[in-house]
Amino acid sequence: MSLSLDLPGPLVGVEWLAERLGSADLLVLDASVGGHRREVPAIPGARLFDLDGPMSDRSSPLPHTMPGAEELARELRALGLNASSTVVVYDNAGIYSSARAWWMLRAVGFDRVAVLDGGLPAWSAAGLPEQTELQHPAAPGTFTARPQPGMFVDSRAVLAALSDPSASVLDARAHERYTGEAPEPREGLRGGHMPGARNLPFTALQDATGRLLPPEELRSRFGPTPSQLLFSCGSGVTACVLALGATVAGLDGASQLAVYDGSWSEWGLPSDLPVVTGP
């Protein structure tokens, strides 16, 4: 008897996935970034959601920019995505870039998607099967995009939110980058943060094993809930970890959640966009 593919929420554990691996409508996507190597272990049957390649807008000068909905839908169909699919996405760092893939899928109207809690490290630690090559789909899928406006925002929306008492901008970068004490890893960017933005490093939402904290602990990390929460980071990747954490915490019912797609890769460029340093 096959097990149901109904997702328990935006997160699934390795046991949930292991019990359903190989199901006809299950699509497992590896969203690892940083030059995924074929010799890196992969979950059996996983396909590459390539954020360093076609899953980002290749015409943009900024890294990891959200593609247009139709362009992304084409790439998702090439991975075999159907309307009836259930998707589990993971990465090889724990919960890092997998949340970006989760947010992107939801932004084009695909909701049957969850992040693997703890990612590939949790899978490996459980002693579950691995393979060294990612799978290529046998046939394209039939998914059609249904864009969800407002899930990604630009610098104008962030500027407005910074002066809006009913909104909060959260910066997912490490504290030393937020204060400007540590240099930015991308050349040419100013150090510091947006005036009025609050620092919440994405790692503060995870335990020592790389799994997300329980919902009540996540809620305490976010603090008071405004009507709008905007998330930023270095290039729009770990900002999505905050979006995932806020969703698991149940904050999406009280706040509109949005990711600043350009993040510091855009805001930190020399421009009139305001930057401050220090705490």
Tell me which residue has tokens 């994405």: 202
Instruction: Confirm if 205 and 221 have CB atoms less than 8 A apart.
Output: yes
* Whole-angstrom distance, CA of residue 145 vs CA of residue 166: 31
Instruction: Confirm if 45 and 135 have CB atoms less than 8 A apart.
Output: yes
Tell me which residue has tokens 């076609």: 54
Instruction: Confirm if 191 and 184 have CB atoms less than 8 A apart.
Output: yes
Q: Which helix (H) or strand (E) holds 27?
A: strand 26-30
Nearest to 201 by CA among 176, 230, 224: 176
Q: Which residues are catalytic?
A: 233
CA angle 123, 126, 130 (to 5 degrees): 50
* Whole-angstrom distance, CA of residue 96 vs CA of residue 91: 7
**Residues 160-188: b if buried by 16+ CB within 10 A, e if exposed:** ebbeeeebbbbbbbbeebbbbeeebeeee
Tell me which residue has tokens 């104008």: 156
